[in-house]
């Protein structure tokens, strides 16, 4: 088995990475599946700040303000089961 450095082509091209500032940088999407996480969602999203390129929050039917807090933090929200 070859390691990544021995495989054909640059690693970023093989893994769908984006070129930023002239450097190949891997993209990272954080995906969270949540329901009624109002007490924790702000802290969780804040802990991801600077580590990811985007956050997708899949809400499965929250009855609290989870969705509002996720949107406020700039996450993409998908609702449904």
pLDDT higher than 50, residue 3: no
pLDDT higher than 90, residue 27: no
Supply the pTM of this predicted model.
0.67
Total domain count for the chain? 1
Confidence tier at 58 by pLDDT (50, 70, 90): very high
> What is the spatial distance between Cα 55 and Cα 75, in angstroms, rounded to a whole number?
5
Please choose, from the candidates 64, 69, 58, the residue with its C-alpha nearest in 3D space to the C-alpha of residue 30.
Answer: 58
Question: Which whole-number Å values give the CA distances from 60 to 34, 57, 79, in the listed order?
Answer: 6, 10, 6
Domain that holds residue 38: 4-79
């Amino acid at each position: 088995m070859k390691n990544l450095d021995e495989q054909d082509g640059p690693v970023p091209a093989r893994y769908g990475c984006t070129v930023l500032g002239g450097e190949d940088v891997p993209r990272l999407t954080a995906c969270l599946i949540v329901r009624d996480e109002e007490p924790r969602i702000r802290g969780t999203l804040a802990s991801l700040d600077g580590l990811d390129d985007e956050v997708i929050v899949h809400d499965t039917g929250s009855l609290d303000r989870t969705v509002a807090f996720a949107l406020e933090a700039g996450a993409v929200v998908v609702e449904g089961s």
